[in-house]
Amino acid sequence: MTVGIAGLGLIGGSIGLALREPGRRILGFDPDPAAREIAKSRFCLDEEVSLPDLAQADIVFVCAPPDAIVQVAEEISIHRGAQTWVSDCGSVKSDIARWATAAGADWFVPGHPMAGHEKGTARYATQSLFRDARWLLTPSDKTNSKAVKAIESLVIAMGAKPIRLVAAEHDQHVAVLSHLPHLVANALEAVAAPLSQREISGGSWKDLTRVAGADPALWSQILAGNADAVSAAIDAMITELELAKQVVATGDRDQLRLLLRAASERKRVAGK
């Protein structure tokens, strides 16, 4: 079996490490020579090939930056082997799902591994990056079910848990569960910027701002690609904060307790 990886950063490199074993040959491509060298030095692939050759693999993962995914998928579709199934790893799914439907690309399964961290190159790739992580897939009713099953079996081989979702629903979920937290972390850092002694912060501050300052090049593409859902999530967040402010401003302990009990109950339910 051959697995092609288009884009040898943290995600592509980690897929290579997670899948590389006897009986599976990992082919890798990246337009950036430096990225290729790092991935090779970390043993993320068996062979460096051109994108047309990569498109002949049994399975191809497109791990390009969000704005480049459709373009890479189109290039692959030109050179694609008759039995090649393709997936991608972008954080936003509506656009690429729409492209697959419009292009009649029933061999393409839009995907999104819920793993990664701030360090974006294959230098930080690990075999275990996807272990116990959710790997979201958003096939449409037009997608070839063999393609979906083939991608799912590799996702499972990497230790992740495949979950099928409708693309639009996926984007609403990640707007709240991933994109909003990043913007919230940035906003908290902005609020704290004028403080003279912010080094006195404790554990809660560290937790809430860990993801602040994430890669502007990557995140501008993610947020632009999911602008409507993210805007709605920010609006909902502002509404909740305005409610909290109204209650805090009264200084009324009973009202505050009610507000906090609702949060406590919500957390308890969510924790189940």
Place of tokens 């969510």: 270
187 interacts with a second copy by CB under 8 A: yes
Sign of the CA dihedral 56, 61, 65, 67? positive
Only segment of 37-45, 123-131, 141-149, 179-187 that touches a second copy (CB under 8 A): 179-187
Whether residue 247 contacts residue 255, with contact meaning beta carbons closer than 8 Å, is answered with yes
SS3 of residue 135 by DSSP: strand
Q: 260 to each of 62, 181, 244, how far by Cα in Å?
A: 44, 20, 9
- Smallest distance, Å, CB 248 to a second copy? 5
Question: Residues 156 to 175: which contact a second copy by CB under 8 A?
Answer: 163, 165, 169, 172-173
Closest listed residue to residue 122, CA positions, set 245, 196, 216, 11: 11
Only segment of 8-16, 25-33, 42-50, 182-190 that touches a second copy (CB under 8 A): 182-190
199 interacts with a second copy by CB under 8 A: yes
253 interacts with a second copy by CB under 8 A: yes
Question: Residues 48 to 77: which contact a second copy by CB under 8 A?
Answer: 67
Strand-strand pairing, 111-113 and 134-137: antiparallel
The one among 1, 117, 142, 153 contacting a second copy by CB under 8 A = 117
Only segment of 4-12, 36-44, 93-101, 211-219 that touches a second copy (CB under 8 A): 211-219
115 interacts with a second copy by CB under 8 A: yes
